Amino acid sequence: VAQLKNFGLDCIIKKVNVDLKDGLEASARAARYLALQEAADEKSAVAVFLGHTRDDQAETVLLGLARGSGTRSLSGMAPHNGVYVRPLLEITRDQSERYCEEVKLQYWSDPHNENPDFSRVRVRNVALPALETSIGPGISEALARSAHLLRDDADALDHWAKAEELALDLLNLDCAYLEKLPRAVRTRLIRAAIYAAGAPAGMVTMEHVSGVEALITAWSGQGALNLPGGVKVARISGRLSLLQHRP
């Protein structure tokens, strides 16, 4: 704080409460972004600059691979995402730290970054070094490059799916039409349809999407599906019908 004031910069200090419902890592991250958004709103900021580096990107991609994530998750962190801007994604953590030392800029290291209880810390301190040793140098750079390539693909698929979404009635979809679409587009439409029917944000999993997709591509007369938020999905006369049950 003192360092920022010496530079003549405003400083906002916010305390957050972490509810731990999604685990410490995820819940703390959500609380940080909420605090950043509140500060941005207070200042009417047009951009919030974040300090993620290429190493952070590589860790994100490797974690996504370990979880069996799709292209959107494997595309890592976007250089621009709404108000958030990440200008350091092309440089390494070491480079950023060396620069700070050269210009006598003090930086803060979160002690949680050395806690092996967190999966990201184990990826950083164990998994990535092991890959560098067994396969060769440049793993972090290669993972970050893959994220960039996958982001282009994910953006194109999202754009295609969005165009379909705008042209269709998401609560009453033609199964024959959906079956002809590429699976990557179809699953995006299914997810959008479930949310359009009233599922809570962030509650739709790939398991839910796959179950609905089976009503389209593996139809054998199966019954309706009950999804988060009271959403019910059924195939009726060749159409996918979605509605929200309100008791």
Residues 74, 68: Cα–Cα separation, whole Å: 9
Q: Give residue 173's pLDDT.
A: 98
pLDDT band at 246 (very low <50, low <70, confident <90, very high): low
Fill in the DSSP letter of residue 52. -
Question: Does 247 have pLDDT greater than 60?
Answer: no
What tens digit of pLDDT does each residue of 76-95 get? 999 999 999 999 999 999 99
- Contact in structure between 14 and 39 (CB atoms under 8 Å): yes
**pLDDT tens digits along 29-54:** 888 999 999 999 999 999 999 999 99
Residue that the structure tokens 């930086």 belong to: 107
Structural domains in the chain, CATH included, are 2-151 (3.40.50.620), 168-244 (1.20.59.20)
Tokens 């010496």 found at: 6
Instruction: Provide the whole-model pTM.
Output: 0.82
| Mean pLDDT over each residue of the chain, to the nearest integer | 93
Quote the pLDDT of residue 144.
96
Residue 244 pLDDT: 82
Which helix (H) or strand (E) covers residue 234, if one does? strand 231-236
Pick the closest to residue 124 from 134, 135, 133, 113 (CA basis): 113
Q: What's the alpha-carbon Rg for the chain, to the nearest Å? A: 22
Nearest residue to 143 (alpha-carbon basis) of 77, 207, 206, 82: 77
- Choice between 244 and 224, residue whose per-residue pLDDT is larger: 224
User: What are the structure tokens assigned to 177, written together?
Assistant: 């039409």
Give the pLDDT score at 204. 93
State the first-to-last Cα distance of the chain, in angstroms, to the nearest integer. 51
Residue 64 has pLDDT above 90, yes or no: yes
133 neighbors 202 (Cβ within 8 angstroms): no
Percent composition of the chain: helix, strand, coil (DSSP 3-state, to 5): 55, 10, 35
Of the two residues 113 and 228, the one the predictor is more confident about is 228
- 8 Å CB contact between 51 and 91: no
Least confident of 95-99, 110-114, 178-182, 221-225: 110-114
Report the percentage of the chain scoring pLDDT > 90.
77
Q: What angle do the packed helices 183-196 and 206-217 form, to 10 degrees?
A: 110
